[in-house]
Structure 1
Amino acid sequence: MKKKLALFFALVGWFAVIAQFILMIENRVTPIPEAVIRFFSFFTILTNTLVAVYFTCIGLMKNHESKTINKPGILTAITIYIFMVGIVYQIALRQVWQPEGLQKIVDELLHSIIPILVIVFWYKYERTKSLKHSQLLLWAIYPIIYLAFVLIRGSFSNFYPYPFVDVTNLGMASVLTNSVILLVVFSVISSLFVFIGKTIIKR
Protein backbone atom coordinates (compact mmCIF):
# COMPACT_ATOMS: atom_id res chain seq x y z
CA MET A 1 0.00 0.00 0.00
CA LYS A 2 2.81 2.41 0.90
CA LYS A 3 4.57 1.94 -2.44
CA LYS A 4 1.35 2.26 -4.44
CA LEU A 5 0.44 5.44 -2.60
CA ALA A 6 3.96 6.82 -3.11
CA LEU A 7 3.83 6.13 -6.85
CA PHE A 8 0.45 7.86 -7.14
CA PHE A 9 1.75 10.89 -5.25
CA ALA A 10 4.87 10.86 -7.44
CA LEU A 11 2.73 10.98 -10.59
CA VAL A 12 0.74 13.91 -9.21
CA GLY A 13 3.97 15.70 -8.32
CA TRP A 14 5.66 15.15 -11.67
CA PHE A 15 2.52 16.20 -13.53
CA ALA A 16 2.33 19.46 -11.60
CA VAL A 17 6.03 20.33 -12.01
CA ILE A 18 6.20 19.40 -15.72
CA ALA A 19 2.93 21.16 -16.53
CA GLN A 20 4.17 24.29 -14.76
CA PHE A 21 7.42 24.12 -16.72
CA ILE A 22 5.55 23.88 -20.03
CA LEU A 23 3.29 26.79 -19.09
CA MET A 24 6.30 28.87 -18.06
CA ILE A 25 8.15 28.16 -21.31
CA GLU A 26 5.07 29.06 -23.35
CA ASN A 27 4.68 32.38 -21.54
CA ARG A 28 8.33 33.28 -21.03
CA VAL A 29 9.60 36.81 -21.53
CA THR A 30 13.28 35.83 -21.47
CA PRO A 31 15.46 33.45 -23.54
CA ILE A 32 14.96 29.76 -22.71
CA PRO A 33 18.21 29.31 -20.69
CA GLU A 34 17.31 32.22 -18.42
CA ALA A 35 13.70 31.04 -18.20
CA VAL A 36 14.85 27.61 -17.05
CA ILE A 37 17.09 29.12 -14.37
CA ARG A 38 14.25 31.32 -13.17
CA PHE A 39 11.91 28.34 -13.11
CA PHE A 40 14.22 26.49 -10.73
CA SER A 41 14.74 29.64 -8.69
CA PHE A 42 11.33 29.17 -7.08
CA PHE A 43 11.28 27.37 -3.72
CA THR A 44 7.89 25.98 -4.77
CA ILE A 45 9.35 24.27 -7.84
CA LEU A 46 12.47 22.97 -6.12
CA THR A 47 10.46 21.58 -3.21
CA ASN A 48 7.75 19.99 -5.34
CA THR A 49 10.49 18.41 -7.46
CA LEU A 50 12.09 17.10 -4.26
CA VAL A 51 8.71 15.66 -3.25
CA ALA A 52 8.28 13.97 -6.63
CA VAL A 53 11.79 12.48 -6.48
CA TYR A 54 11.22 11.24 -2.92
CA PHE A 55 7.96 9.51 -3.73
CA THR A 56 9.42 8.03 -6.91
CA CYS A 57 12.27 6.50 -4.88
CA ILE A 58 9.90 5.16 -2.23
CA GLY A 59 7.62 3.70 -4.88
CA LEU A 60 10.26 2.09 -7.09
CA MET A 61 13.11 1.09 -4.77
CA LYS A 62 13.19 -2.30 -3.10
CA ASN A 63 13.08 -2.26 0.69
CA HIS A 64 16.80 -2.95 1.14
CA GLU A 65 17.64 -0.20 -1.37
CA SER A 66 15.60 2.50 0.33
CA LYS A 67 17.01 2.27 3.85
CA THR A 68 18.69 5.67 3.62
CA ILE A 69 15.69 7.52 2.23
CA ASN A 70 13.47 5.82 4.83
CA LYS A 71 15.53 7.06 7.78
CA PRO A 72 13.40 8.94 10.34
CA GLY A 73 13.60 12.66 9.71
CA ILE A 74 13.94 12.69 5.93
CA LEU A 75 10.21 12.49 5.28
CA THR A 76 9.61 14.97 8.10
CA ALA A 77 12.03 17.48 6.56
CA ILE A 78 10.38 17.17 3.15
CA THR A 79 6.95 17.53 4.76
CA ILE A 80 8.02 20.71 6.55
CA TYR A 81 9.44 22.17 3.32
CA ILE A 82 6.26 21.55 1.35
CA PHE A 83 4.14 22.71 4.29
CA MET A 84 6.07 26.00 4.20
CA VAL A 85 5.35 26.24 0.46
CA GLY A 86 1.65 25.88 1.16
CA ILE A 87 1.37 28.16 4.18
CA VAL A 88 3.44 31.00 2.70
CA TYR A 89 1.42 30.86 -0.51
CA GLN A 90 -1.93 30.92 1.28
CA ILE A 91 -0.93 33.82 3.55
CA ALA A 92 1.35 35.99 1.42
CA LEU A 93 1.03 35.10 -2.25
CA ARG A 94 -2.46 33.88 -3.12
CA GLN A 95 -3.81 37.42 -3.50
CA VAL A 96 -0.93 38.46 -5.77
CA TRP A 97 -2.40 36.84 -8.89
CA GLN A 98 -5.50 35.02 -10.14
CA PRO A 99 -4.52 32.15 -12.47
CA GLU A 100 -7.08 30.64 -14.82
CA GLY A 101 -7.57 27.38 -16.69
CA LEU A 102 -4.77 24.81 -16.52
CA GLN A 103 -2.57 27.30 -14.68
CA LYS A 104 -5.10 27.45 -11.84
CA ILE A 105 -5.19 23.65 -11.59
CA VAL A 106 -1.40 23.41 -11.54
CA ASP A 107 -1.19 26.26 -9.06
CA GLU A 108 -3.53 24.50 -6.63
CA LEU A 109 -1.65 21.22 -7.03
CA LEU A 110 1.71 22.81 -6.26
CA HIS A 111 0.59 24.96 -3.34
CA SER A 112 -2.42 23.20 -1.80
CA ILE A 113 -3.07 19.61 -2.88
CA ILE A 114 0.48 18.25 -2.81
CA PRO A 115 1.26 19.73 0.63
CA ILE A 116 -1.86 17.99 1.97
CA LEU A 117 -0.90 14.68 0.31
CA VAL A 118 2.60 14.82 1.82
CA ILE A 119 1.25 15.56 5.29
CA VAL A 120 -1.10 12.57 4.99
CA PHE A 121 1.82 10.35 3.96
CA TRP A 122 3.92 11.68 6.85
CA TYR A 123 1.12 11.02 9.34
CA LYS A 124 0.68 7.51 8.04
CA TYR A 125 4.27 6.33 7.58
CA GLU A 126 6.90 8.42 9.37
CA ARG A 127 8.52 6.71 12.38
CA THR A 128 7.86 9.74 14.52
CA LYS A 129 9.15 8.39 17.85
CA SER A 130 12.67 8.52 16.38
CA LEU A 131 12.50 12.21 15.51
CA LYS A 132 14.86 14.52 17.40
CA HIS A 133 14.89 18.28 17.97
CA SER A 134 18.60 18.18 17.15
CA GLN A 135 17.63 17.45 13.53
CA LEU A 136 16.19 20.94 13.12
CA LEU A 137 19.58 22.46 12.28
CA LEU A 138 20.13 19.86 9.57
CA TRP A 139 16.67 20.49 8.12
CA ALA A 140 17.37 24.24 7.98
CA ILE A 141 20.34 23.83 5.61
CA TYR A 142 18.18 23.60 2.49
CA PRO A 143 16.15 26.83 2.99
CA ILE A 144 19.28 28.73 4.09
CA ILE A 145 21.21 27.66 0.98
CA TYR A 146 18.19 28.53 -1.14
CA LEU A 147 17.97 32.00 0.37
CA ALA A 148 21.68 32.61 -0.21
CA PHE A 149 21.34 31.50 -3.85
CA VAL A 150 18.35 33.78 -4.48
CA LEU A 151 20.05 36.83 -2.96
CA ILE A 152 23.41 36.25 -4.67
CA ARG A 153 21.91 35.59 -8.10
CA GLY A 154 19.43 38.42 -7.72
CA SER A 155 22.26 40.86 -7.05
CA PHE A 156 23.46 40.53 -10.65
CA SER A 157 20.36 39.26 -12.50
CA ASN A 158 17.89 41.59 -10.75
CA PHE A 159 15.41 38.69 -10.61
CA TYR A 160 13.87 37.76 -7.28
CA PRO A 161 11.27 34.96 -7.39
CA TYR A 162 9.18 36.29 -4.48
CA PRO A 163 8.18 39.84 -3.51
CA PHE A 164 9.32 39.43 0.11
CA VAL A 165 12.93 38.77 -1.02
CA ASP A 166 12.98 41.48 -3.70
CA VAL A 167 15.99 43.56 -2.68
CA THR A 168 15.39 46.04 -5.53
CA ASN A 169 12.00 47.09 -4.18
CA LEU A 170 12.38 46.47 -0.45
CA GLY A 171 16.06 47.00 0.25
CA MET A 172 18.43 44.49 1.83
CA ALA A 173 17.48 45.35 5.42
CA SER A 174 13.79 44.55 4.85
CA VAL A 175 14.61 41.38 2.93
CA LEU A 176 16.89 40.14 5.70
CA THR A 177 14.16 40.91 8.24
CA ASN A 178 11.63 38.94 6.18
CA SER A 179 14.13 36.09 5.85
CA VAL A 180 14.71 35.93 9.60
CA ILE A 181 10.96 35.88 10.20
CA LEU A 182 10.56 33.00 7.74
CA LEU A 183 13.40 31.06 9.36
CA VAL A 184 11.81 31.56 12.78
CA VAL A 185 8.47 30.32 11.41
CA PHE A 186 10.30 27.38 9.85
CA SER A 187 11.91 26.54 13.20
CA VAL A 188 8.60 26.76 15.06
CA ILE A 189 6.82 24.56 12.52
CA SER A 190 9.70 22.06 12.60
CA SER A 191 9.49 21.88 16.38
CA LEU A 192 5.73 21.36 16.17
CA PHE A 193 6.16 18.44 13.78
CA VAL A 194 8.66 16.81 16.13
CA PHE A 195 6.39 17.45 19.12
CA ILE A 196 3.30 16.08 17.39
CA GLY A 197 5.20 13.08 16.12
CA LYS A 198 6.75 12.15 19.43
CA THR A 199 3.84 12.90 21.77
CA ILE A 200 0.68 12.31 19.72
CA ILE A 201 1.41 9.91 16.85
CA LYS A 202 4.26 8.06 18.59
CA ARG A 203 4.92 5.54 15.80
Structure 2
Amino acid sequence: MRPGSVTIVYRLVFAALTLTAVAAQFRVTLVNDSSIANFFSYFTNLSNLLATVVFTVGAIRVARGTPDSRAWSVVRAGTVVAMVFVGIVFNVLLAGLDVGALVPWVNVVVHMLMPVAVLVDWVVWPPERRLPWWAAAVCLVYPVVYSVYSLVRGAVIGFWPYPFYDPSAVGGAGGVALYLVVLVVALAVLATLVVLVGRRRRMSTTPTP
Protein backbone atom coordinates (compact mmCIF):
# COMPACT_ATOMS: atom_id res chain seq x y z
CA MET A 1 0.00 0.00 0.00
CA ARG A 2 1.38 3.41 -1.00
CA PRO A 3 2.10 5.99 1.77
CA GLY A 4 -0.70 8.21 0.47
CA SER A 5 -3.12 5.31 0.63
CA VAL A 6 -2.21 4.68 4.26
CA THR A 7 -2.99 8.30 5.08
CA ILE A 8 -6.34 8.13 3.30
CA VAL A 9 -7.40 4.88 4.99
CA TYR A 10 -6.25 6.08 8.43
CA ARG A 11 -8.19 9.32 8.21
CA LEU A 12 -11.36 7.83 6.75
CA VAL A 13 -11.49 4.98 9.28
CA PHE A 14 -11.19 7.34 12.25
CA ALA A 15 -13.58 9.84 10.69
CA ALA A 16 -16.19 7.10 10.23
CA LEU A 17 -15.65 5.75 13.75
CA THR A 18 -15.97 9.17 15.35
CA LEU A 19 -19.01 10.14 13.32
CA THR A 20 -20.63 6.84 14.32
CA ALA A 21 -19.85 7.51 17.97
CA VAL A 22 -21.27 11.03 17.93
CA ALA A 23 -24.35 9.79 16.05
CA ALA A 24 -24.86 7.03 18.62
CA GLN A 25 -24.74 9.54 21.46
CA PHE A 26 -27.06 11.87 19.57
CA ARG A 27 -29.54 9.01 19.26
CA VAL A 28 -29.46 8.64 23.05
CA THR A 29 -30.21 12.35 23.30
CA LEU A 30 -33.25 11.93 21.06
CA VAL A 31 -34.48 8.80 22.86
CA ASN A 32 -34.22 10.56 26.23
CA ASP A 33 -35.96 13.62 24.76
CA SER A 34 -33.00 15.77 25.83
CA SER A 35 -32.11 19.15 24.41
CA ILE A 36 -30.54 19.01 20.96
CA ALA A 37 -29.14 22.50 21.46
CA ASN A 38 -27.42 21.34 24.64
CA PHE A 39 -25.96 18.34 22.81
CA PHE A 40 -24.30 20.62 20.30
CA SER A 41 -23.12 22.93 23.07
CA TYR A 42 -20.53 20.45 24.33
CA PHE A 43 -16.98 21.21 23.24
CA THR A 44 -16.33 17.47 22.94
CA ASN A 45 -19.12 16.92 20.42
CA LEU A 46 -18.26 20.00 18.36
CA SER A 47 -14.54 19.23 18.32
CA ASN A 48 -15.05 15.58 17.36
CA LEU A 49 -17.33 16.63 14.51
CA LEU A 50 -14.72 19.17 13.42
CA ALA A 51 -12.03 16.49 13.51
CA THR A 52 -14.25 14.20 11.44
CA VAL A 53 -14.64 16.90 8.79
CA VAL A 54 -10.92 17.72 8.79
CA PHE A 55 -9.95 14.04 8.50
CA THR A 56 -12.42 13.51 5.66
CA VAL A 57 -11.36 16.60 3.75
CA GLY A 58 -7.73 15.76 4.45
CA ALA A 59 -8.18 12.28 2.97
CA ILE A 60 -9.82 13.77 -0.13
CA ARG A 61 -6.99 16.29 -0.53
CA VAL A 62 -4.42 13.49 -0.39
CA ALA A 63 -6.41 11.41 -2.89
CA ARG A 64 -6.53 14.36 -5.29
CA GLY A 65 -2.90 15.29 -4.73
CA THR A 66 -3.87 18.75 -3.48
CA PRO A 67 -0.92 20.38 -1.70
CA ASP A 68 -1.46 21.84 1.75
CA SER A 69 -2.12 25.55 1.85
CA ARG A 70 -1.07 27.60 4.84
CA ALA A 71 -4.72 28.17 5.77
CA TRP A 72 -5.44 24.43 5.70
CA SER A 73 -2.38 23.71 7.84
CA VAL A 74 -3.61 26.22 10.42
CA VAL A 75 -7.04 24.56 10.42
CA ARG A 76 -5.38 21.20 11.03
CA ALA A 77 -3.31 22.68 13.86
CA GLY A 78 -6.40 24.18 15.48
CA THR A 79 -8.16 20.82 15.31
CA VAL A 80 -5.21 19.10 16.96
CA VAL A 81 -5.20 21.66 19.77
CA ALA A 82 -8.95 21.29 20.34
CA MET A 83 -8.92 17.50 20.34
CA VAL A 84 -5.85 17.09 22.53
CA PHE A 85 -7.40 19.60 24.91
CA VAL A 86 -10.58 17.51 24.97
CA GLY A 87 -8.55 14.48 25.99
CA ILE A 88 -6.56 16.31 28.66
CA VAL A 89 -9.48 18.17 30.25
CA PHE A 90 -11.72 15.11 30.38
CA ASN A 91 -9.11 12.76 31.80
CA VAL A 92 -7.72 15.31 34.28
CA LEU A 93 -10.79 17.32 35.38
CA LEU A 94 -13.91 15.38 34.42
CA ALA A 95 -13.11 11.65 34.48
CA GLY A 96 -14.39 11.16 38.02
CA LEU A 97 -17.65 13.03 37.50
CA ASP A 98 -21.05 11.62 36.60
CA VAL A 99 -21.24 11.66 32.79
CA GLY A 100 -24.94 10.84 32.77
CA ALA A 101 -26.22 9.00 29.72
CA LEU A 102 -22.87 8.98 27.94
CA VAL A 103 -22.45 5.60 26.25
CA PRO A 104 -19.24 3.94 27.55
CA TRP A 105 -17.75 3.03 24.15
CA VAL A 106 -18.61 6.49 22.83
CA ASN A 107 -16.80 7.97 25.81
CA VAL A 108 -13.66 6.00 24.90
CA VAL A 109 -13.80 7.10 21.25
CA VAL A 110 -14.45 10.83 21.70
CA HIS A 111 -12.43 11.45 24.87
CA MET A 112 -9.50 9.06 24.46
CA LEU A 113 -9.10 7.40 21.07
CA MET A 114 -9.79 10.32 18.73
CA PRO A 115 -7.59 12.84 20.56
CA VAL A 116 -4.69 10.41 20.23
CA ALA A 117 -5.54 9.67 16.57
CA VAL A 118 -5.54 13.37 15.68
CA LEU A 119 -2.21 13.93 17.42
CA VAL A 120 -0.65 10.91 15.69
CA ASP A 121 -1.90 12.20 12.34
CA TRP A 122 -0.19 15.54 13.00
CA VAL A 123 3.10 13.92 13.97
CA VAL A 124 3.21 11.29 11.23
CA TRP A 125 1.89 13.54 8.44
CA PRO A 126 3.03 17.06 9.41
CA PRO A 127 1.96 20.14 7.45
CA GLU A 128 3.67 20.57 4.11
CA ARG A 129 4.04 24.31 4.65
CA ARG A 130 6.09 25.71 7.51
CA LEU A 131 3.65 27.13 10.04
CA PRO A 132 4.23 30.68 11.31
CA TRP A 133 4.27 31.14 15.07
CA TRP A 134 1.15 33.30 14.92
CA ALA A 135 -0.76 30.13 14.02
CA ALA A 136 -0.67 29.28 17.73
CA ALA A 137 -2.75 32.38 18.47
CA VAL A 138 -5.24 31.48 15.74
CA CYS A 139 -5.66 28.05 17.36
CA LEU A 140 -7.03 29.80 20.46
CA VAL A 141 -9.89 31.53 18.63
CA TYR A 142 -12.25 28.54 18.52
CA PRO A 143 -11.98 27.52 22.21
CA VAL A 144 -12.14 31.14 23.39
CA VAL A 145 -15.25 31.87 21.29
CA TYR A 146 -16.77 28.63 22.57
CA SER A 147 -16.10 29.66 26.17
CA VAL A 148 -17.74 33.05 25.64
CA TYR A 149 -20.74 31.33 24.07
CA SER A 150 -21.02 28.86 26.97
CA LEU A 151 -20.82 31.60 29.59
CA VAL A 152 -23.40 33.81 27.90
CA ARG A 153 -25.77 30.93 27.14
CA GLY A 154 -25.38 29.56 30.64
CA ALA A 155 -26.20 32.92 32.19
CA VAL A 156 -29.35 33.11 30.05
CA ILE A 157 -30.77 29.57 30.33
CA GLY A 158 -28.89 28.12 33.31
CA PHE A 159 -27.23 25.26 31.40
CA TRP A 160 -23.50 24.79 31.80
CA PRO A 161 -21.87 22.09 29.65
CA TYR A 162 -18.94 21.82 32.07
CA PRO A 163 -18.75 22.58 35.81
CA PHE A 164 -15.90 25.07 35.49
CA TYR A 165 -18.28 27.39 33.60
CA ASP A 166 -20.88 27.22 36.38
CA PRO A 167 -20.38 29.86 39.12
CA SER A 168 -22.38 27.80 41.63
CA ALA A 169 -20.03 24.84 41.16
CA VAL A 170 -16.68 26.65 41.49
CA GLY A 171 -17.28 29.27 44.14
CA GLY A 172 -18.75 32.11 42.13
CA ALA A 173 -17.58 34.31 39.28
CA GLY A 174 -14.07 34.46 40.72
CA GLY A 175 -13.79 30.69 40.53
CA VAL A 176 -14.94 30.71 36.91
CA ALA A 177 -12.44 33.44 36.06
CA LEU A 178 -9.61 31.50 37.69
CA TYR A 179 -10.48 28.34 35.80
CA LEU A 180 -10.68 30.25 32.53
CA VAL A 181 -7.29 31.88 33.04
CA VAL A 182 -5.71 28.48 33.74
CA LEU A 183 -7.43 26.91 30.74
CA VAL A 184 -6.41 29.72 28.38
CA VAL A 185 -2.80 29.54 29.55
CA ALA A 186 -2.85 25.76 29.12
CA LEU A 187 -4.33 26.17 25.64
CA ALA A 188 -1.67 28.72 24.70
CA VAL A 189 1.09 26.35 25.80
CA LEU A 190 -0.54 23.45 23.97
CA ALA A 191 -1.02 25.48 20.79
CA THR A 192 2.62 26.57 20.85
CA LEU A 193 3.76 22.96 21.26
CA VAL A 194 1.53 21.79 18.41
CA VAL A 195 2.95 24.45 16.08
CA LEU A 196 6.49 23.60 17.25
CA VAL A 197 5.96 19.90 16.52
CA GLY A 198 4.54 20.73 13.10
CA ARG A 199 7.49 22.95 12.24
CA ARG A 200 10.12 20.45 13.40
CA ARG A 201 8.43 17.41 11.88
CA ARG A 202 8.14 19.21 8.55
CA MET A 203 11.87 19.96 8.63
CA SER A 204 12.75 16.36 9.49
CA THR A 205 10.56 14.94 6.70
CA THR A 206 11.68 17.39 3.99
CA PRO A 207 13.96 15.57 1.53
CA THR A 208 17.53 16.83 1.42
CA PRO A 209 18.37 18.28 -2.02
| TM category, shorter | 0.7 to 0.9
Aligned residue in 2 for 1:110:
110
- Pair 1:127-2:132 in alignment: no
Moved more, 60-69 or 9-18: 60-69
Where 1:97 maps in the other structure, the secondary structure is coil
TM-score by length of structure 1 reads: 0.87
Paired residues of 1:76 and 1:126 also in contact (CA < 8 A): no
Where do 1:64-103 residues align within 5 Å?
67=68, 71-97=72-98, 103=103
Aligned residue in 2 for 1:3:
8
- Structure 2 CA distance for aligned equivalents of residues 187 and 103 of structure 1: 31
Answer 1 or 2: which has greater helix percent: 1
Where do 1:127-166 residues align within 5 Å?
127=127, 130-166=130-166
Aligned residue in 1 for 2:194:
193
* Runs (5+) with no aligned partner, structure 1: none
Paired residues of 2:164 and 2:179 also in contact (CA < 8 A): yes
In the TM superposition, what is the alpha-carbon distance from 1:197 to its structure 2 partner?
A: 3.0
Change in CA separation of 1:69 and 1:44 when aligned onto 2, cut-off 3 Å: farther
Paired residues of 1:47 and 1:82 also in contact (CA < 8 A): yes
In the TM superposition, what is the alpha-carbon distance from 1:95 to its structure 2 partner?
A: 0.6
- Structure 2 CA distance for aligned equivalents of residues 65 and 198 of structure 1: 20
In the TM superposition, what is the alpha-carbon distance from 1:143 to its structure 2 partner?
A: 0.7
Across the aligned residues of Structure 1 and Structure 2, the Cα RMSD in angstroms comes to 2.4
- Pair 1:44-2:49 in alignment: no
In the TM superposition, what is the alpha-carbon distance from 1:174 to its structure 2 partner?
A: 1.1
TM-score by length of structure 2 reads: 0.84
In the TM superposition, what is the alpha-carbon distance from 1:194 to its structure 2 partner?
A: 2.1
- Structure 1 CA distance for aligned equivalents of residues 161 and 82 of structure 2: 17
Where 1:133 maps in the other structure, the secondary structure is coil
